[in-house]
Amino acid sequence: MRTKSTLSRRAFVSSAAAAPFSALAAAREENVVVHPQVEIGKIRPELHGHFAEHLGSCVYGGLWVGKNSPVPNLNGHRKQAVDYLKALGIPVLRWPGGCFADDYHWRDGIGPLARRPKRVNIHWGNYTEDNSFGTHEFVELCRLIGAEPYFAGNVGSGTPRELRDWVEYCNYPAGSTLSDERAANGSPEPFRIRYWGVGNENWGCGGRMTPEEYATHYRRFAGYMRNFGTPPYLVACGPNSNDIRWTRGFMDSMQGRGYPHGFALHYYQNMRVEPTKFTADNAAAQLTKFADMEKAIVQQRALLDSYDPERRVGLLIDEWGVWDGMIPAEEKKYGRLWQQNTLRSAVGAALGLNVFHRHAGKLVMGNIAQTVNVLHAMLLAYEDKCIRTPSYYAFELAKPHRAKTAVRAETGDSSPLGLSVSASRQDNELVLTLINPRHDTPLKAACRLSSGRAASATARILHHENFNAANTFEQPDLVVPRPHAAAAEGSRVTIDLPPMSIVTASVRI
């Protein structure tokens, strides 16, 4: 069995072709024009949302260690994970799936722990789950880290009554049998859950339905999900990637019958290569797919607008991220879809967030998959260890954009691996995130403001000479943000970007 430290050392030895040093090429100047007065839309904090599924060790052994665990915990929640996620400021957290949602029955996860049934997780390895982490535990986790809960409801194997009762159980203040049961289970105050997914991937693991079939199911389920004290925001299952046929079939079937509040597509950047063994070609192929996701947002939003010009239907991407190749020995040790996270992963996370910022007026939420250990994770946890991944820091660098207004930024290179820029403004602060996704070409970003003058600028960078570099339990701080130079003079801000780097600058204008 290969340990994480072995993988890390091997990655450093074998990456000469994969991660050339920045000194091998001269910096190329890239001109950027930033228009502080040309507004795109508010960058909702929910665009920086996250997703935690009962998959591998994301929940059990990751977020949840149990109340009697020797691992430091807060009422069963891994304390180090809570501290890290609270510091990151996760705005919204989606749960319990994913595919798991459409075989999850919420009553299994309430009441005394000793009475909760053990169920087989049919989607992810036939593991037996004891349901010790259920509705109350998830809401408690969200309260601990400051996140808004987003529940994914069971349409695939559930019933309208089951989902309707879950809404009442969570949201009705008091006086009904279900609200009294919630109180008896330790929560007299309603949970006030706003976001409800009506099914998940119903074109696939959620029932293998046609869009027309799913629309019929959606109408049946949504019709009973009423305002039990908190108006629900109902999210319909959108397409796999940019499947126009699914969206058109669903929306055609919904005309005159009421549209959902939200419509969620899923978009993964797959490249089934071991995470620390990416070559330059592998990395380029994967990172290029973020341009395809950007096209999907534009095209899906335009298609929804053709049915709903007033944009009453919000567009979400509630699963996204890089999906690398799994290593069987690591999955055996750490759980299904356990995935190491490298600088290249962080660049992918930053590219996705830049896409969301540039299209802030078209989107209402994004949820990267997933929070701990699985796929594009923010944290890696095992036994009593818990570390932050490079992608955690990509989100940390993007945090200053939240709640600001996205503004227009133009570059001279629109190719998928060209300099990526997003910009936002609030009062006299302009925030710029610049990403160099190329493995071999350092860039000098010459940013010109079309209005106003730059009084000062400060910046931080996430970079390592090896794009396969990863934080491990032995070296948890190998890839971390550091202060970076940013020159501000008149209407210009100049920032150097080595290959495979992320820089966020705060500019006083």
Whether the predicted pLDDT of 392 surpasses 60: yes
Position 47 in a domain: no
258-315 confidence digits (pLDDT tens)? 999 999 999 999 999 999 999 999 999 999 999 999 999 999 999 999 999 999 999 9
Q: What is the pLDDT of residue 1?
A: 35
- Average model confidence (pLDDT) across the chain: 94
Q: What is the pLDDT of residue 27?
A: 87
Boundary residue ending a domain (325, 347, 369)? 347
Type and span of the H or E element at 390: helix 390-398
pLDDT mean over 346-361 = 98
Q: Please check whether residues 483 and 335 belong to one and the same domain.
A: no
Q: Please check whether residues 147 and 238 belong to one and the same domain.
A: yes
Position 354 in a domain: no
Position 367 in a domain: no
Q: Please check whether residues 243 and 123 belong to one and the same domain.
A: yes
Amino acid type, 277: K
Spatial contact of 461 and 482, defined as CB atoms under 8 Å apart = yes
* Helix, strand, coil percentages, rounded to 5, for the chain: 30, 30, 40
Q: What is the pLDDT of residue 25?
A: 64
Q: CA 297 to CA 265: how far, in whole Å?
A: 9
Q: Please check whether residues 429 and 492 belong to one and the same domain.
A: yes
Q: Work out how many domains the chain is built from and give that number.
A: 2
pLDDT mean over 363-378 = 98
Whether the predicted pLDDT of 3 surpasses 60: no
| Backbone φ and ψ of 8, nearest 5° | -65, -45
Q: What is the pLDDT of residue 136?
A: 98
Q: Please check whether residues 417 and 326 belong to one and the same domain.
A: no
Boundary residue ending a domain (322, 347, 372)? 347
Spatial contact of 155 and 202, defined as CB atoms under 8 Å apart = yes
Boundary residue ending a domain (309, 331, 347)? 347
Amino acid type, 112: P
Position 497 in a domain: yes
DSSP, collapsed to helix, strand or coil, labels residue 171 as helix
Q: Please check whether residues 420 and 321 belong to one and the same domain.
A: no
Position 393 in a domain: no
Q: What is the pLDDT of residue 23?
A: 44
Candidates 201, 274, 330, 396; catalytic one = 201
DSSP, collapsed to helix, strand or coil, labels residue 138 as helix
Residue 230 belongs to domain with CATH number = 3.20.20.80
Q: Please check whether residues 439 and 299 belong to one and the same domain.
A: no
Whether the predicted pLDDT of 10 surpasses 50: no
Q: CA 436 to CA 496: how far, in whole Å?
A: 10
Q: Please check whether residues 286 and 413 belong to one and the same domain.
A: no
Whether the predicted pLDDT of 8 surpasses 80: no
pLDDT mean over 334-347 = 97
Annotated catalytic residue 137: no
Q: What is the pLDDT of residue 11?
A: 39
What percent of the chain shows pLDDT beyond 70? 95
Amino acid type, 413: D
Spatial contact of 457 and 37, defined as CB atoms under 8 Å apart = no
Q: What is the pLDDT of residue 298?
A: 98
β-pair type (443-449, 456-463): unpaired
CA nearest 379: which of 65, 83, 66? 83
175-201 confidence digits (pLDDT tens)? 999 999 999 999 999 999 999 999 999
Spatial contact of 389 and 85, defined as CB atoms under 8 Å apart = no
Give ∠ CA 365-371-374 in degrees, rounded to 5. Answer: 120
Beta strands in 87-132 (DSSP E): 92-95, 119-121, 127-129
Q: Please check whether residues 188 and 329 belong to one and the same domain.
A: yes
pLDDT mean over 314-324 = 98
Question: How much is the pTM?
Answer: 0.94
Q: Please check whether residues 334 and 456 belong to one and the same domain.
A: no
Position 292 in a domain: yes
Q: CA 474 to CA 372: how far, in whole Å?
A: 18
Q: CA 52 to CA 153: how far, in whole Å?
A: 14
Q: What is the pLDDT of residue 190?
A: 98
Annotated catalytic residue 330: no
157-172 confidence digits (pLDDT tens)? 999 999 999 999 999 9
Residue 447 belongs to domain with CATH number = 2.60.40.1180
Position 227 in a domain: yes
Candidates 30, 148, 319, 396; catalytic one = 319
Q: Please check whether residues 28 and 103 belong to one and the same domain.
A: no
Residues in contact with 5: Cβ distance below 8 Å, sequence separation at least 6, in sequence order? 472, 473, 474, 475
Position 343 in a domain: yes
Q: What is the pLDDT of residue 26?
A: 82
Domain that holds residue 208: 95-347
Whether the predicted pLDDT of 2 surpasses 90: no
Q: Which of 18-27, 60-69, 80-89, 345-354 has the lowest mean pLDDT?
A: 18-27
pLDDT mean over 72-97 = 98
Q: Please check whether residues 418 and 296 belong to one and the same domain.
A: no
